[in-house]
Every structure is written in structure tokens, then in C-alpha cells.
């Protein structure tokens, strides 16, 4: 797994207007609108990634790297290529989508967006068996969820006001979770969070901490709050 950079771009920047840290009700309302915007953007992003992967020529390691670069430019959070000859390779793609926790499902284009959507950090594996078979397997699953509450608290407690700030916060939480995986040594140990959750430091506007709890039904963690 790789650390992500703050390279994602949104088309519009919404901003919380207040003197001092944004108050809770105002932060909740504006962050909810920002999250709805991100849900739409990242749903489109996934469609772009799927099309790029389907249309790319990927027989050689060089072609595979070019495909990886195209997917990065499309807005993936980060990628990891395991190249091979004769079309055999695995490409790991980490991306963000909007998530409806009540339906326990990603928010697709055309779906109603809940009042308080979450962000889902997903691991997608694109695997080609090679050998001229043109067999490509694509699988995806969420491994980290960031709640609306966590993003709202980031806005309130850390003075965050814009979409770019929230992308920075998401990236920081993701990288903090990855550092915790290194500390725990295995994904299984990482997922075995105690009831009170893991506390992981994050690089966000000085000293900050994210609380990571086990999802109640999925093999994933949930960023419950930030302080």
C-alpha cells in the first residue's frame, strides 16, 4: 500500500464562512453539501477508471505503466503496479467514492445522496492473466470508511473550510491508517481494533488524531472522529 498525495482536484470549491472555527451546525450543513459534491465527482471518476482500464493496450510492462499513468491522471488516490510480460500483471488502484451507510452501498450516478454521506476508501485490483487470453478480472472492496461526523469534526476543530481542505483531511486520514498497518504488520491485526478503536496520529494542521474502529459487518475500518 502506498501513501497518497494531495493531488485530487474538484471542479468547484465550497467554503464555510465564519470567524474562528466553524460552528457545529454550520459545519455539518456545509460539509454535507461538500460530501454530496464529492460523491458525484468520485462516482464519475470510477466510471473513467473503468473505461481507461478497458480501452488500454497492456501487453508489455511499458504499456502497463502507461495504463497506470492514465489512471493516475484520471484522479485515482494512488496506484501500485506489479508488471509482467505477455500481458500478465496486477494493478492495484486506491480511490474514493461517496458511500451511503444506510444502504451499505456506494453512491452511483443517479442515486439519491443521503443527508450525511460517508467517504469510502477502496482497493480495486485489476488482474490480467496474460498469455493472449484477454482475461481481465476486476474486483473492488472498501477498506476504510470516513464518516460525515469525522469530516465535520475536522472542519470544526481544525478550522477547515473548503473542499480542498477536506480532500487534504481525507488523504491525511488514509495515510495515518496505512502507517498503522505498518505498525500492526498485517491487515488482519489492523482490522482487529478494540471496542474503543485505534488512535492514529495524522499529519493535518499540526497535531491531530483519528479514531479508527472496526466496521460492524465489513472487513474494513471506520474513521469515526478526529481530534
Q: Report d(CA 206, CA 202) in Å as an integer.
A: 9
Does the residue 4 lie in any domain?
no
Does 58 reside within a domain? yes
In a domain, 17, yes or no: no
Does some domain include residue 13? no
Residue 84 included in any domain: yes
CA proximity to 76, closest of 9, 128, 152: 9
Residue 99 lies in a domain: yes
Measured CA distances, 113 to 100, 105, 158, 215 (Å): 7, 11, 26, 21
Answer whether residue 91 is part of any domain. Answer: yes
Query: Does the predicted model carry a pTM greater than 0.85?
Result: no
Tell me the residue range of the domain where 60 lies.
24-226
Q: How many domains does the chain have?
A: 1
CA torsion sign for 103, 51, 173, 226 is negative
pLDDT in tens, the chain (227 residues): 556 655 544 444 444 444 445 455 655 666 666 666 767 777 677 777 777 667 666 678 888 888 888 888 877 778 889 888 877 888 888 888 788 888 988 877 777 778 788 888 888 888 887 766 667 777 888 999 999 888 877 766 666 666 677 777 788 888 888 888 888 888 889 888 999 999 988 876 667 888 999 998 899 999 988 88
Digit-coded pLDDT (tens) for 79-106: 889 888 877 888 888 888 788 888 988 8
Q: Is 10 among the domain residues?
A: no
pLDDT of residue 211: 92
Task: Please identify which residue in the block is written with the cell numbers 473548503.
Answer: 162
H or E stretch covering 194: none
Amino acid at each position: 500500500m502506498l501513501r497518497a498525495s494531495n493531488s485530487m482536484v474538484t471542479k468547484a470549491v465550497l467554503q464555510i464562512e465564519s470567524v474562528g472555527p466553524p460552528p457545529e451546525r454550520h459545519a455539518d450543513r456545509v460539509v454535507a453539501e461538500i460530501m454530496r459534491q464529492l460523491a458525484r465527482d468520485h462516482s464519475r471518476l470510477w466510471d473513467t477508471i473503468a473505461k481507461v482500464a478497458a480501452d488500454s493496450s497492456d501487453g508489455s510492462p511499458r504499456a502497463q505503466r502507461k495504463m497506470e499513468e492514465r489512471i493516475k491522471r484520471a484522479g485515482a488516490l494512488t496506484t501500485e503496479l506489479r508488471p509482467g510480460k505477455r500481458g500478465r500483471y496486477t494493478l492495484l488502484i486506491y480511490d474514493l467514492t461517496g458511500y451511503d451507510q444506510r444502504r451499505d452501498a456506494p453512491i452511483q450516478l443517479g442515486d439519491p445522496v443521503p443527508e450525511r454521506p460517508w467517504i469510502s476508501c477502496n482497493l480495486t485490483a485489476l488482474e490480467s492473466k496474460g498469455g493472449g487470453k484477454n482475461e481481465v478480472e476486476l474486483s473492488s472492496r472498501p477498506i476504510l470508511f470516513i464518516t460525515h461526523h469525522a469530516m465535520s469534526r475536522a472542519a470544526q476543530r481544525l478550522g477547515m473550510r473548503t473542499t480542498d481542505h477536506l480532500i487534504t483531511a481525507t488523504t491525511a486520514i488514509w495515510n495515518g491508517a496505512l502507517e498503522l498497518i505498518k505498525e500492526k504488520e498485517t491487515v488482519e491485526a489492523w482490522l482487529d481494533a478494540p471496542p474503543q478503536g485505534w488512535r492514529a496520529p495524522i499529519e493535518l494542521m499540526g497535531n491531530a488524531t483519528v479514531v479508527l474502529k472496526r466496521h460492524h459487518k465489513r472487513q474494513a475500518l471506520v474513521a469515526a472522529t478526529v481530534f
